[in-house]
Structure 1
Amino acid sequence: MALGLNVSEPEGTCSHEDCPFHGSLSVRGQIIEGEVASTDMDKTVVVEREYDVTVPKYDRQMKRRSRVPAHAPECMTLEVGDTVRIAETRPLSKTKSHVVVENLTEEGDD
């Protein structure tokens, strides 16, 4: 199934309806790259990304970090420390409105 993104389909298969590859979940909006910070929840990963913010008073850069909960499809194997690409989707729960579409760590290992 084409997502409208230039990503490769995962090797595994699943039959979950909230999978963008094997189910009916559509993606739209933001695409974010970050590192998996936590895999403790069921079918959810927390993706963390760091960015710089300018502090005008001191004329310096300050590091900030944001943590985004994202749905982890069953067909993808994700571990803490993996670099992933997530895409925005409809709200899946109170906090989740992103889904993992690509594991960038696997590509570097090939």
Structure 2
Amino acid sequence: MKFSEVKEVGVQGVSVPSNKCQDNNCPYHGTLRVRGMIDEGLLVKYRARNMGVVEREYLYYNSKYKRYEKRRSKIHAHIPPCLDVKEGDRVIIGETRQLAKSISFVVLGKR
């Protein structure tokens, strides 16, 4: 695949970015495939090069007390250079192959 081609990721509600990049780990302009879990969260940190921390909140059912409790987890995600996201944005992330020791997700776009 050439870098000039743009491919669709296959996730509803996510549009293709207008910027172009030469990143091989970009789901739009590179060869990275998105498969598995698709989730939404808040971009908490964006300090490392092309890597950020996404915090997601979810409900957990506690069967002893028969009620739900809020929990949160932090997920490390790769951020392609063609996306213009910053800390505090709500983003959509998708699961990919493992890119680094702790990175198995990629940011697909803003919500």
Quickly name the TM-score band, shorter chain normalised.
Answer: 0.7 to 0.9
Partner residue of 1:31 out of 38, 52, 56: 38
Q: 1:57 & 1:92 partners in 2: Cα distance? A: 39
In structure 2, the partner of 1:21 is 28
Higher helix share: 1
Q: 1:71 & 1:45 partners in 2: Cα distance? A: 6
Q: Aligned runs of 1:22-61 on 2, under 5 Å? A: 22-61=29-68
Q: 1:84 & 1:5 partners in 2: Cα distance? A: 13
Q: 2:11 & 2:59 partners in 1: Cα distance? A: 27
Q: 1:76 & 1:32 partners in 2: Cα distance? A: 17
Using the TM superposition, name which of 94-103 and 45-54 deviates more.
Answer: 45-54
In structure 2, the partner of 1:4 is 10
* TM-score normalized by the length of structure 1: 0.87
Partner residue of 1:100 out of 82, 103, 107: 107
Q: 1:55 & 1:4 partners in 2: Cα distance? A: 34
Task: Describe the SS at the equivalent of 2:58.
Answer: strand
Q: 1:82 & 1:39 partners in 2: Cα distance? A: 11
Q: CA deviation at 1:102?
A: 1.4
Using the TM superposition, name which of 47-56 and 24-33 deviates more.
Answer: 47-56
Q: Which runs of 5+ in 2 are unaligned?
A: 1-6
Q: 1:12 & 1:102 partners in 2: Cα distance? A: 12
In structure 1, the partner of 2:4 is none
Q: Which runs of 5+ in 1 are unaligned?
A: 105-110
- Supply the AA of the counterpart residue of 2:110: N
Using the aligned pairs only, state the percent identity: 43
* TM-score normalized by the length of structure 2: 0.87
Task: Kindly indicate whether the alpha-carbon contact (under 8 Å) linking 2:8 and 2:16 is maintained by their aligned counterparts in 1.
Answer: no
